[in-house]
Amino acid sequence: MSPDFIREALRQVRYPGFSRDIISFGLVKDVKCEPGLVTVHIEIATRDEKIPQQIFQNCHAILDPLPDIGTVKIEIDVKDASAAAGGVGGTVGKSSIPGVKRIIAVASGKGGVGKSTVAANLAVALAATGAKVGLCDCDLYGPSVAQMFGVNERPMANEHDEIIPLEAHGLKLMSMGFLLEDRSPVIVRGPMATRYTQQFLRQVAWEDLDYLVLDLPPGTGDIQLTIVQTVTVDGVIIVTTPQEVALIDARKAVSMFAKVNVPITGLVENMAWFECDAGKKYYIFGQEGGVREAEHLNVPLLGQIPINVETRERGDSGSPIALAPPASNKVSAAFHEIAAKVRSKIPIG
Ligand code: ADP
């Protein structure tokens, strides 16, 4: 009986509700094998008491029947996720990234709905409120912050081997894209992707920030769970477009974050309409799908962003639209309103 053997056996224990196992999520912190006694130490961050119970039972179900194992002791240390669950109006949470007061994740059920566009413009608009803001692009497979902010340098490391974020438009920026040689997406899957992302999140020298906006990869899988297990996320914003195929996935995202006790700050409906020069609105993807969905899911609707050429052009050319004066630009104004709501829902204390 060796710790490696026990770890291998524990790969059969899934994190409840996900396909990934507790070993590859890095939840098993220690395994001790003494004569007649095996002790497994697990650490998780959740407020759902059913999760440790289920992991406890499943570990016993796998280990107890092994021949010659003796007594099995499963110790589960449940880290207090109450800071994350405090959310709106809750206690001022502690983030697990040194120097960062609040962490806001921007997520979507599917790709192409404008999640990165919303994350970038939210970060810009939050900075315009006077806050110190960082934006971290966590999408290994399709990083876009480099493009959206027109930054191409490779970041340097400090004397502690931490990556120093780049800066543009008064924001600190970090992206997997800055670390890639030729912008080709990283071809890593499964546990490697998890490990890369965790390491990436822990090794950036953000120093002093009021808000860190995390642009999550699209979807609702293991990598999103890994991120919210690695850092304490104070709130998640779900971006959707108004049509049913996008709403189905937005619903999945809301339910996934609820399952892991990440407070849902609200929904943003992107590409809500197109307004022609004459001022007429065309609801290309259907009218108010996001508004109805927010009501249905009982989460706040933070705002609606129209589809327009300038938003796309400015996104491609490194100058997000929220940099335009809100008084004379409706889309910029919409992002500034969203930022004001986010600031009041997730105060920096
Ligand atoms: P995601 O992160 O969800 O994959 P992106 O933010 O990368 O989506 O957006 C996909 C494309 O759509 C980009 O070219 C972006 O500029 C464009 N886009 C996003 N939102 C809008 C909008 N409201 N109006 C016009 N183009 C938009």
The answer to whether the beta carbons of residues 62 and 22 sit under 8 Å apart is no
C-beta 229 within 6 A of ligand 1: no
- Residue 176: exposed, middle, or buried by beta-carbon count in 10 A (0-12, 13-18, 19+)? buried
What percent of the chain is predicted at pLDDT more than 90?
Answer: 64
- Tokens found for residue 208: 């002093």
Query: How many DSSP H helices and E strands does the chain contain?
Result: 11, 13
Q: Best substitution site from 138, 145, 270, 312 to test ligand 1's pocket, by max atoms within 8 Å of Cβ? A: 312
pLDDT band for 89, please (50, 70, 90 cuts).
very low
C-beta 147 within 6 A of ligand 1: no
Mean pLDDT for 159-184 is 84
Q: Which of 14-28, 171-185, 194-208, 269-283 has the highest mean pLDDT?
A: 269-283
State in words which class domain 3-79 has: alpha beta
pLDDT at 208: 92
Mean pLDDT for 197-224 is 88
**Separation of CA 43 and ligand 1 centre (Å):** 38
Which atom of ligand 1 is nearest to 331's Cα? 23
Total-model pTM: 0.78
Residue whose Cα lies nearest atom 17 of ligand 1: it is: 312
Where do the structural domains in the chain lie, given as residue ranges?
3-79, 100-345
**Separation of CA 112 and ligand 1 centre (Å):** 6
pLDDT at 181: 65
What percent of the chain is predicted at pLDDT more than 70?
Answer: 92
**Separation of CA 338 and ligand 1 centre (Å):** 17
**Separation of CA 116 and ligand 1 centre (Å):** 7
Domains 3-79 and 100-345 share a fold: no
- pLDDT of 96 over the 80 cut: no
**Separation of CA 270 and ligand 1 centre (Å):** 9
Torsion of Cα atoms, 53 then 58 then 59 then 62, to 10°:
160
Q: What is the CATH number of domain 100-345?
A: 3.40.50.300
C-beta 307 within 6 A of ligand 1: yes
- pLDDT of 1 over the 50 cut: yes
pLDDT tens per residue, range 48-79: 788 899 999 999 999 999 998 999 999 998 87
Helix residue ranges per DSSP H, the chain: 3-10, 50-63, 82-86, 115-128, 145-149, 190-202, 222-230, 244-259, 289-297, 309-316, 330-345
C-beta 305 within 6 A of ligand 1: yes
**Separation of CA 33 and ligand 1 centre (Å):** 52
Contacts of 4 (CB under 8 A, 6+ apart): none
C-beta 117 within 6 A of ligand 1: yes
Q: Which residue has the higher pLDDT, 214 or 196?
A: 214
- pLDDT of 201 over the 70 cut: yes
- Length of the chain measured in residues: 349
Q: 240 has which bridge partners?
A: 269
pLDDT band for 178, please (50, 70, 90 cuts).
confident
pLDDT tens per residue, range 274-299: 999 999 999 999 999 999 999 999 99
From the centroid of its chain, how far is CA 73?
33
